[in-house]
Amino acid sequence: MERRLTALERRVAALETGPNEASRASDSDILLANNPEKIATNGQNPEIKFNEMEFDFGTINEGEIVNHVFKFTNVGKAPLLIDKATASCGCTVPDWPKKPIGVGEIGEIKVRFDSKNKPNQQIKTVTISANTEPSLTRLRIKGFVTPENQQAAGPVKN
């Protein structure tokens, strides 16, 4: 039953990210939901532990780009493999390790947020899909983007 729920969680995350992701994820998710015995872990699961689950970038001006690195450790008993990382908006781009992270090793998820055309309060989610239990982990970035028309005027030229 847990494997079926995990597959359904993946499907929901894929739907949240848009139709292209949903169509790519659906075949494997249906396979996992209908055939949970296809995955044998023997109780040796990787486990991802982040130093922080949320980052507040504070107040920035519209048009600025901010970056943040979420550090994590594989505290499980098997190599950790991140299948993908998806963002809730095209303005947010995650970068993740493509190679397995060994037991006890540290990795990073780099997140870039472009505030162009994104005024006011912003909350963005990055969904990490990995060979962990549960298979999905969600990180958040948030902050306030000062609209371009409300930014303080620069120095006056004579």
In a domain? residue 6 = yes
In a domain? residue 153 = no
In a domain? residue 74 = yes
What residues contact 23, with CB distance under 8 A and at least 6 apart?
none
- Phi first, then psi: what are they for 81, rounded to 5°? -125, 115
Predicted pLDDT of residue 153: 60
Structural domain count of the chain? 2
Full residue range of the structural domain in which residue 5 is found? 1-40
Predicted pLDDT of residue 135: 94
32 and 104 assigned to the same domain: no
106 and 67 assigned to the same domain: yes
pLDDT, tens digit only, all 158 positions of the chain? 455 445 555 565 555 555 444 434 434 444 344 433 334 456 688 999 999 999 999 999 999 999 999 999 999 999 999 999 999 999 999 999 999 999 999 999 999 999 999 999 999 999 999 999 999 999 999 999 999 988 876 544 44
C-alpha 99/C-alpha 4 separation (Å) is: 26
